[in-house]
Amino acid sequence: MPPLAAAAGNTVLPPFTPGAIFTEIHFGSLVALFLLVSAALYGYGVYRLRQRGDHWPVGRTVAFVAGGLGSIAAVTITGIEAYDTTLLSVHMVQHMVLSMVGPIFLALGAPVTLALRTLPSAPRNKLLALLHSRAAKVLTFPLVAFGIFVANPFVLYFTGLYEQTLLHSWLHEFIHVHFIVTGCLFFWPLLGLDPLPGRWPYPGRALLMVLSVPFHTVLGLTIMQSPTLLAGDYYRNLGLSWTDPVADQVTAGGILWAGGEIVSVTMLGILIVQWVRQSEREARRIDRALDRQEAEEAAAQARSDAAKITNEAPADTRVPGSDIA
């Protein structure tokens, strides 16, 4: 990976500019392969549904491919990736997208539901067994996923682990995947449309989302106010004359603080919209049930009235004069 060469003294990267995002593109990474395979599988699933005449919402496809995979691609195969081991602020943008933005849109794309509707019976049964396994129930339980999601960045940035990700390309790639997976574990039970075990009702999900906001604030402020640089002297040793590692770390903390709040508030809004829509669907379902019940009662009453009319018909139906001798 090009930026890692800088750790060995190669500091040829020019100053980071918006234009660098479009000129430093590369596809040779594990995440790029994941994006390609995921897009192909999702597209094939949608194609299979349409071939047999079934409907799949266009919004879900757009959310998964453009919003989810697209946002991940934007920070892993562009100049964001090229500079993510050079500037902490760029890395923080990547962190936010991989752990929050991408997973939110992936969850809204409902890929598990798509798989369940298109897979043959044997693989579908295996997928259902996996969804209802004990491991899935534990990992997708909101409090467990919340704990993992909140603890991860503190462990990464305030131990020696972060510096190691800058020095070893395999660990750097692994952290990318780790961000995506932990983000999905947190957001899928809260926002996702797929069937998951033990999903909380909307009030509980909204409360958990609100509770996640202070952790981003605390983490961002801690990074901004830290008297020492993250990753030790790694950034100073790059010898880049066009950036100040201390100022860049302050910017990175601000990105994490503000970005975390923006994404959390946006997600809370999505959650509320889903809540309202579910309430409307439930109200319509109750109305339909009441209408059916009223129709059945009206029909029963009509049958009862008809029976009464029949039973109350005159008993004397003799023809006049029939009793004359």
pLDDT at residue 198, rounded to an integer? 75
pLDDT of residue 236 exceeding 70, the answer is: yes
Instruction: Tell me how many degrees the CA angle 166-255-12 measures, rounded to the nearest 5.
Output: 40
Residue 6 has pLDDT above 50, yes or no: no
Give the pLDDT confidence of 139-167 residue by residue, as tens digits.
888 899 999 999 999 999 998 899 999 99
Residue 44: pLDDT band by 50, 70, 90 thresholds? very high
The C-alpha atoms of residue 276 and residue 283 are separated, in whole angstroms, by 10
Residue 124 carries which DSSP code?
H
Placement of tokens 């990547």 in the chain: 94
Considering only residues 19 and 318, tell me which one the structure prediction assigns the higher pLDDT.
19
Residue 200 has pLDDT above 90, yes or no: no
Handedness of CA 218, 221, 225, 228 (dihedral sign): positive
Supply the mean pLDDT for the chain.
Answer: 86
How many C-beta atoms lie closer than 10 Å to residue 256's C-beta? 25
**CA atoms within a 13 Å half-sphere pointing along the CA-CB vector of 46:** 17
Letter string b/e over residues 299-318, b meaning 16 or more CB atoms within 10 A of that residue's CB: eeeeeeeeeeeeeeeeeeee
Structure tokens at 164: 């190691």
Whole-model pTM: value is 0.81
Q: At what angle do helices 169-191 and 245-311 cross, to 10 degrees?
A: 30
Per-residue pLDDT band for 285 (boundaries 50, 70, 90) equals confident
Structure confidence at residue 47 (pLDDT): 95
Q: Reply yes or no on whether the pLDDT at 304 is more than 70.
A: yes
Q: What is the pLDDT of residue 116?
A: 94
Mean pLDDT across the stretch 218-228? 92
DSSP state of 14: P
